Amino acid sequence: MKDYTMNTKCVQAGYTPGNGEPRQIPIIQSTTFKYDTSEDMGKLFDLEAEGYFYTRLQNPTNDHVAAKIAALEGGTAGMLTSSGQAANFFALFNICECGSHIVASSSIYGGTFNLIAVTMKKMGIDATFVSPDCSEEELNAAFQENTRAVFGETIANPALTVLDIEKFAKAAHEHGVPLIVDNTFPTPVNCRPIEWGADIVTHSTTKYMDGHGAAVGGAIVDGGHFDWMAHADKFPGLCQPDDSYHGITYAERFGMEGAFITKCTAQLMRDFGCIQSPQHAFILNLGLESLHVRMPRHVENGQAVAEFLQQQPQVAHVNYPGLKGDPYYERAQKYLPNGGCGVVSFELKGGRQAAEAFMKKLKLAAIETHVADARTCCLNPATSTHRQMNDEQLKEAGIPAGLIRISCGLEDKEDLIADLKQALA
Ligand SMILES: *Cc1c(COP(=O)(O)O)cnc(C)c1O
């Protein structure tokens, strides 16, 4: 599949049926797999042979879909997880342990911020958050002796900031650690972080990859370029024998291409069990088959809605990296030449009352805590996800009370604009 374009990979990568086999990826709805001898099964446990024995570790349906996502991102190995939260936790915890430190962009998804700043801190893993717009000096100053990973989002949810992937990758590599990028919003159709120097890519497949609001899921892809053995002192989990897995040294046995995902599967999935069900993987793949067709329409609608909103007297300002004049426009032109995503945020004059009244009048855009669906949805953080904060606190967090996040779906843009027009009126 390497020689095919993104469009063809979305449809066909990851699964090539043999003669007489099902055309569509079969849902292998089985917890376990049978063997003729214990010896056969023993080889699987020792990671000496490839095969399946228990779905918590690996399942053929999931593996086909993970292989497709790895192909789309240009990676060497991939795995599915039960959610985007699990993907980010696994990607970080695969190389961090008690006493480690993470450098993360401060402009990331709220759930991931909590994961790193609160939950992983309780596990003894510290973090320093830096602005995605920090200077190289500020970025380099955030590193410590015990830093093990750098983390950011290509387009942050919901701030819509764009990460300077090359700058973050350079700093990470100068300090001997990998850059992990959550590429949920643009998807590999619009940006492939590995091509810009990122080492590991994560996804909430719940968003555009599924794209139909049907199945929660996550994915991790390894670019296969990070030389763990060159920094063996930092990554003992990959570079020293794993006593819990028959003394295997992952980086030796599976090389740069396979060590990260093999350890993540054999160790973290074994112990935490955050698997995606084969049913969900099947639904996710239906979404992936049209991802390259859907993303340009999400972008077209997002761009049209952002341009419309910018001209309305009731709107204080609009955030969308595709808008000329947006602080992230130049960076988006570099990393997202075909556009980013369909999510736009804008501030209504008149604060939360105006936002509430406006959203009540919308007919096509439904009020939901979701984004990246085929159906347009919207949210006012001040009256929903951030309702515990007063106006002063919201302002400090960069989320004015009148801010609305709208995720433009796949409807006709003229209908979406007409809906916004009547609600503004
Ligand atoms: C939604 C989201 C997540 C969390 O994913 P879930 O599938 O909801 O667990 C992580 N990162 C980003 C950028 C997201 O938008």
d(CA 291, CA 29): 25
Task: Name the residue among 67, 57, 118, 123 with its Cα closest to residue 93.
Answer: 123
| Substitution site in 184, 191, 377, 385 for ligand 1 pocket (most atoms within 8 Å of beta carbon) | 184
Say how many Å lie between the CA of residue 83 and the centre of ligand 1: 7
The verdict on the CB of residue 161 being under 6 Å from ligand 1 is no
Q: What is the pLDDT of residue 47?
A: 79
Say how many Å lie between the CA of residue 182 and the centre of ligand 1: 9
Question: Hey, what are 46's tokens?
Answer: 């020792």
- Kindly provide the b/e burial profile for residues 40-68, where b requires at least 16 CB atoms within 10 angstroms of the residue's own CB: ebeebeebeeeebeebbebbbbbbbbbbb
Question: Hey, what are 135's tokens?
Answer: 């200077």
Q: Is the pLDDT of residue 44 over 90?
A: no
Q: Is the pLDDT of residue 359 over 70?
A: yes
Average pLDDT of the chain is: 95
The verdict on the CB of residue 356 being under 6 Å from ligand 1 is no
Residue the block writes with tokens 């940006």 = 191
Percent of the chain whose pLDDT exceeds 90: 88
Kindly report, residue by residue over 325-339, the tens digit of the pLDDT: 999 999 999 999 999
The verdict on the CB of residue 90 being under 6 Å from ligand 1 is no
Amino acid identity for residue 243 in this structure? D
> Which of 248-252, 259-263, 327-331, 385-389 is predicted least confidently?
385-389
Taking the CA of residue 218 as reference, the ligand 1 atom at the shortest distance is 7
Quickly state the pLDDT bin for 28 (edges 50, 70, 90): very high
Taking the CA of residue 153 as reference, the ligand 1 atom at the shortest distance is 13
Kindly report, residue by residue over 77-104, the tens digit of the pLDDT: 999 999 999 999 999 999 999 999 999 9
Task: Name the residue among 57, 120, 72, 124 with its Cα closest to residue 92.
Answer: 120
The verdict on the CB of residue 407 being under 6 Å from ligand 1 is no
Q: Is the pLDDT of residue 417 over 80?
A: yes
Coil, strand or helix at 299: helix
pLDDT average, residue stretch 41-63 = 90
pLDDT average, residue stretch 105-123 = 95
DSSP 321-363: TTSTT-TTHHHHHHH-TT---SEEEEEETTHHHHHHHHHHH-S
Quickly state the pLDDT bin for 1 (edges 50, 70, 90): low
Kindly report, residue by residue over 239-252, the tens digit of the pLDDT: 999 998 889 999 99
pLDDT average, residue stretch 40-58 = 88
Task: Name the residue among 72, 74, 75, 78 with its Cα closest to residue 9.
Answer: 72
Protein residue with its CA nearest to atom 8 in ligand 1: 84
pLDDT average, residue stretch 269-282 = 97
Which residues contact residue 151 at a Cβ distance below 8 angstroms, ignoring those fewer than 6 apart?
88, 92, 102, 103, 104, 105, 108, 112, 116, 179, 180, 181, 182
DSSP 210-279: T-SS----EEEEE-S---GGGGTTT-HHHHS-BGGGTTB-HHHHHHHHHHHHHHIIIIIIHHH--PPPHH
Phi, psi of 102, deg, nearest 5: -120, 140
Q: What is the pLDDT of residue 392?
A: 82
Say how many Å lie between the CA of residue 33 and the centre of ligand 1: 32
> Which of 132-141, 319-328, 372-381, 389-398 is predicted least confidently?
389-398
The verdict on the CB of residue 154 being under 6 Å from ligand 1 is no
Q: Is the pLDDT of residue 299 over 80?
A: yes
Q: Which residue has the higher pLDDT, 328 or 391?
A: 328
The verdict on the CB of residue 112 being under 6 Å from ligand 1 is yes
The verdict on the CB of residue 153 being under 6 Å from ligand 1 is yes
pLDDT average, residue stretch 358-362 = 95
Please tell me the pTM assigned to this model.
0.97
Q: What is the pLDDT of residue 118?
A: 96
Kindly report, residue by residue over 174-210, the tens digit of the pLDDT: 999 999 999 999 999 999 999 999 999 999 999 999 9
Contact call for residues 355 and 401 (beta carbons, < 8 A):
yes
Contact call for residues 129 and 141 (beta carbons, < 8 A):
no
